[in-house]
Amino acid sequence: MKDSRNITLSQLLDQAAAAYPNNDALVYPERSMRYTYKEFREACNQVAKGLLKLGIKKGDHIAVWATNLPEWAIAQFGIARIGAVLVTVNTSYKTSELEYLLKQSDATTLIMLDSTKNIDYPSIIYELCPELYNGKPGELVSKKLTFLKNVIVIGDKQYPGMFTWNEVIKMGEDVSNEELAALVTQMEPDDVNMMIYTSGTTGFPKGVMLTHNNVILNSKGMAECMNLRVADRVCIPVPFFHCFGAVAGTICSVAAGAAMVLPSERFDPVKVLKSIEKERCTVLHGVPTIFIMLLEQMEKEKFDTSSLRTGIVAGASCELKVLKKIESVLNMREVVNAYGQTEASPCITQTRIDDPPELRLSTVGRPLPGVEVKIVDPATEQEAAPGVQGEIRARGYNVMKGYYKMPAATAEAIDEDGWLHTGDLGIMDYGGFLKITCRLKDMIIRCGENIYPREIENYLCTHPLVKEAQVLGVPSPKYGEDVVAFVQLKEGAVLTQEELQDFCKGKIAGIKIPSHIEFVDSYPYTASGKVQKFKLRRLGIKSLGLEDVTMTETVCN
């Protein structure tokens, strides 16, 4: 394929389909589905035409709230083909979280699954938009969500006021290929392609605006570090709503002309290992939790993973001994680490498959091509010498366009010289290899997902018996970090951990609900009146018996 610099996601797919029309593009074993690149491009075109028929225009925001289904990947590229903006939605979101995201993003359209796990998606959207019950599909007038007009359900089941996926595809049958192709000339590589929500210092999620250039060039850099080629088959068990799945997974595969293998709609270790064995996958991405569960499954039942060679371990801290087991047990002899964050599209540094093993496993690598990284003393703002700890800052094509409708937060994150202030502390050696030492931010990373304590604290404090709440992360050998809350109750109040956890269920994502809650009479404070969370963290570690749990950071938020 031609160099993928300065093109759009739509053009990237066109290049792959032209170069490898009969090669596998997307495989979904659960439904025995298999798309060649030619067929995948056509499926994306059909969705794009249907969206055009709904009146969706260039720049409109389309939220996708679904698990790792073929329709998600098809929607991703179909949305890109008309120049609209994909807004990813965490599949575990409940009412308050979904309401905030749809309002803040100005989404005009919601594409959603009917249900997953124990979440009934239609019930949630009906709670937010009861007007759907008696409305006509495509003509929603909502009091709460004033921008939202269309709700599309993946599947054939009919819901009042909503389109089905297939109905939208059928609507676009009279849109010509020429009409669709004409839209390509209206798009620019620096147009926003997707918005991914990440938590921030305000306590509310922020919409990270990523351009075509951001995600394509970052994917190309990651692919080069892994020597990803057209013969590769990439197993993607990480969620698509996260940068890891939507960029390192799908876009990275298309940039190389490789096959995307979707083992299941949500993570299942047996299905992942069966897919690797059956489809002869060569690449496997995952957060440490995923790999730990795969290794545990391999102890119970053997699967043939001899086809694997590489993949990215990222998203949370990982123990060195786990990385070595990934190499030996899963045969990923060229496994690599990566570090970044959503604001960096997401990758900033990555190890290469030919790096010395001790550096490939114990560091998060060197900057990707075209990305600058420096370590800065946050107290003096002077660049730190090699081997000296400081804040990690990055600059290059991968830095986001900004936070949607949050100029002040954008200015805080990106300085006048274009440097992204990551808020993470690290050390870079003389060879340019980076190690993450700790985070300046309080963000918790559990199972590869960013969790900001302020969001949870805000919600806990809505309980009528809660006076104050402090939320933080403690190390977890399986999840990287776990959520712990220290709660002060109002005078005379009595509340149990189970009661407060139940208060959270159905209102905030399950991954954010504290796994352990301690009720305290007071907090340790600094002289200036700030809560000393590091002391609370020590208390939590001690009370949970986690003193011996030490982690190696391999973070890619």
CATH code for position 347: 2.30.38.10
Top mean pLDDT of 32-36, 287-291, 505-509 is at 32-36
Digit-coded pLDDT (tens) for 75-109: 999 999 999 999 999 998 999 999 999 999 999 99
Residue 51 lies inside a defined structural domain of this protein: yes
Residue 96 lies inside a defined structural domain of this protein: yes
Of 337, 340, 303, nearest in space to 323 by CA: 337
CA–chain centroid gap for 387, Å, is: 31
Are 417 and 491 members of one domain?
no
Residue 107 lies inside a defined structural domain of this protein: yes
> Can you give the CATH number for the domain in which 482 is found?
3.30.300.30
Residue 342 lies inside a defined structural domain of this protein: yes
In whole angstroms, give the CA distance from residue 455 to residue 200.
9
Residue 415 lies inside a defined structural domain of this protein: yes
In whole angstroms, give the CA distance from residue 230 to residue 541.
46
Burial class (CB in 10 A: 0-12, 13-18, 19+), 325: middle
CA–chain centroid gap for 165, Å, is: 24
Q: Cβ distance 246 to 346 under 8 Å?
A: no
Are 19 and 132 members of one domain?
yes
Residue 312 lies inside a defined structural domain of this protein: no
What percent of the chain has a predicted confidence (pLDDT) above 90?
A: 79
Q: Examine the fold and report which residue of 395, 417, 439 is the final residue of a domain before the chain moves on.
A: 439
The per-residue pLDDT for 436 is 87
Top mean pLDDT of 159-163, 317-321, 542-546 is at 159-163
Are 198 and 61 members of one domain?
yes
Are 406 and 531 members of one domain?
no
- Under DSSP, is residue 407 helix (H, G, I), strand (E, B) or coil? helix
Digit-coded pLDDT (tens) for 312-360: 998 766 778 889 999 999 999 999 999 999 999 999 999 999 999 999 9
The per-residue pLDDT for 438 is 67
The per-residue pLDDT for 320 is 82
Determine phi and psi for 233, rounding to 5 degrees. Answer: -130, 115
Positions of E strands within 83-146: 85-88, 109-113, 115-116, 119-120
Residue 242 lies inside a defined structural domain of this protein: yes
242-246, 424-428, 434-438: least confident range:
434-438
- Under DSSP, is residue 128 helix (H, G, I), strand (E, B) or coil? helix
| pLDDT greater than 80 at residue 184 | yes
Are 271 and 385 members of one domain?
no
Are 418 and 529 members of one domain?
no
| pLDDT greater than 80 at residue 555 | no
**End-to-end Cα distance, the chain:** 29
Are 386 and 496 members of one domain?
no
The per-residue pLDDT for 156 is 85
| pLDDT greater than 60 at residue 119 | yes
| pLDDT greater than 60 at residue 551 | no
Report which of residues 442 and 359 the model is more confident about: 359
Q: For the full predicted model, state whether its pTM sits above 0.95.
A: no
Of 500, 487, 492, nearest in space to 531 by CA: 487
Report which of residues 546 and 121 the model is more confident about: 121
Tokens standing for 228? Answer: 């990803």
Q: Which residues contact 305 (CB under 8 A, 6 or more apart)?
A: 273, 276, 277, 298, 329, 330, 331
The per-residue pLDDT for 453 is 83
Residue 517 lies inside a defined structural domain of this protein: yes
Confidence of residue 185 (pLDDT cuts 50, 70, 90): confident
| pLDDT greater than 70 at residue 382 | yes
- Under DSSP, is residue 218 helix (H, G, I), strand (E, B) or coil? helix
| pLDDT greater than 80 at residue 556 | no
Tell me what the mean pLDDT of segment 128-153 comes to: 97
Are 283 and 387 members of one domain?
no
Are 225 and 374 members of one domain?
no
Q: Examine the fold and report which residue of 264, 294, 324 is the final residue of a domain before the chain moves on.
A: 294
Residue 428: give the domain boundaries: 335-439
The mean predicted confidence, pLDDT, of the chain is 92
Tell me what the mean pLDDT of segment 127-152 comes to: 97
The per-residue pLDDT for 528 is 42
CA distances from 311 to 202, 290, 326, 350, 471 (A): 34, 13, 10, 11, 33
Q: Examine the fold and report which residue of 422, 439, 456 is the final residue of a domain before the chain moves on.
A: 439
Confidence of residue 3 (pLDDT cuts 50, 70, 90): very low
Instruction: Give the count of domains, the chain.
Output: 3
What percent of the chain has a predicted confidence (pLDDT) above 70?
A: 94
Are 462 and 378 members of one domain?
no
Digit-coded pLDDT (tens) for 188-209: 999 999 999 986 434 578 999 9
In whole angstroms, give the CA distance from residue 391 to residue 524.
26
Task: Decide the pairing of beta strands 233-235 and 259-261.
Answer: parallel
Are 414 and 475 members of one domain?
no
Digit-coded pLDDT (tens) for 24-64: 999 999 999 999 999 999 999 999 999 999 999 999 999 99
The per-residue pLDDT for 554 is 40
Are 428 and 470 members of one domain?
no
Tell me what the mean pLDDT of segment 460-478 comes to: 91
